[in-house]
Amino acid sequence: MSTSPSLGSQLRQIAESLAREAGDMALRGRKSGPLTATTKSSPIDMVTQFDKASEAMITEGLATLRPDDSIIGEEGAAKKGTSSITWHIDPIDGTTNFYFDLPMWAVSIGAVDEHGPLAGAVYVPALGEMFSGARSEGATMNEVPISVRANHDIADALVCTGYSYLISEREVHAKRVANIVMKVRDLRRFGAAAVDLCFVASGRLDVYFEEHLNSWDLIAGQVIATEAGAIITDYVGNPVTPSQVLASTPGVHADFIRLIAASGPGTS
């Protein structure tokens, strides 16, 4: 007797296929002609024609495949649907990297239901890597199961962070990071939150922490990292929100919370 795929599995497939289509379009466009960039929340927060084209492609796809769902997108997509599913879309996460032709940018598409993040895909076109996951169904990279790195030693931890586009919000974080970098193996700043979460999920990083994100930066990576065995909370161990994200392999999570507390006040 055949069983039909779960809703999470169906939404994961949709997220994968739309992320791949939009990401490949953006990669081809990036390689073939000039970029048109304008700025948003600050003079260094950019949006290109491919952020907008990617979001349009994804929302059109969802309108066909999931016409009753709600949508929230970084470039303005906002639709109130009638189903229990809301899609959170970052059409290009890591736009600065995209602009500078650095490979660390992704299309991030996550679906939330009444219980929280249900399914998501993060596609990194320049690396040819598709991360995806669904609640209780595991996480994969290019269809191979992934899991967090086994590490219990904070001094051995490879840590990644990110900085807000708002300079006023960077000061506290910069001081905190200056303390933390002396207590861990090393620190990275790749510039795309969704990719950072997937790198924790796949064991390429032990810890990722950042403040002042938006839901479209978080949801898809959250379900992927959680399914890969990561713990995701805010900086004091409460349920994560986009305003404060700490994702890590379980063995260093409590120690990293203590390290953040010892490294200066938060801004949230």
* Annotated catalytic residue 227: no
Whole-angstrom Cα distance, residue 164 to residue 43?
A: 12
Give the contact letters, 173-202, x = binds to ligand LIP (CB under 6 A), - = no: ------------------xxx---------
Contact 30, 134 (CB under 8 A): no
Give the contact letters, 101-140, x = binds to ligand LIP (CB under 6 A), - = no: ----------------------------------------
CA-closest candidate to residue 22, choices 89, 102, 77, 80: 89
Dihedral over alpha carbons 219, 223, 226, 229 (to 10 degrees): -140
| Most distant CA pair in the chain, distance | 59
- List binders of ligand LIP among 62-101 (CB under 6 A): 74, 90, 93-95
Question: Rounded to an integer, what is the distance from CA 188 to the centroid of its chain?
Answer: 16
According to CB under 6 A, which one of 57, 71, 112, 213 is a site residue for ligand LIP? 213
Min. distance of Cβ 145 from ligand LIP in angstroms? 25
| Token pair 């073939």: residue | 32
Min. distance of Cβ 68 from ligand LIP in angstroms? 27
Structural tokens at position 146:
């992934």
Number of residues counted as binding ligand LIP (CB under 6 A): 15
Identity of the residue numbered 181: V
- Contacts to ligand LIP by CB under 6 A: 74, 90, 93-95, 162-165, 191-193, 210, 213, 217
Q: Tell me the catalytic residues.
A: 74, 90, 92-93, 95, 217
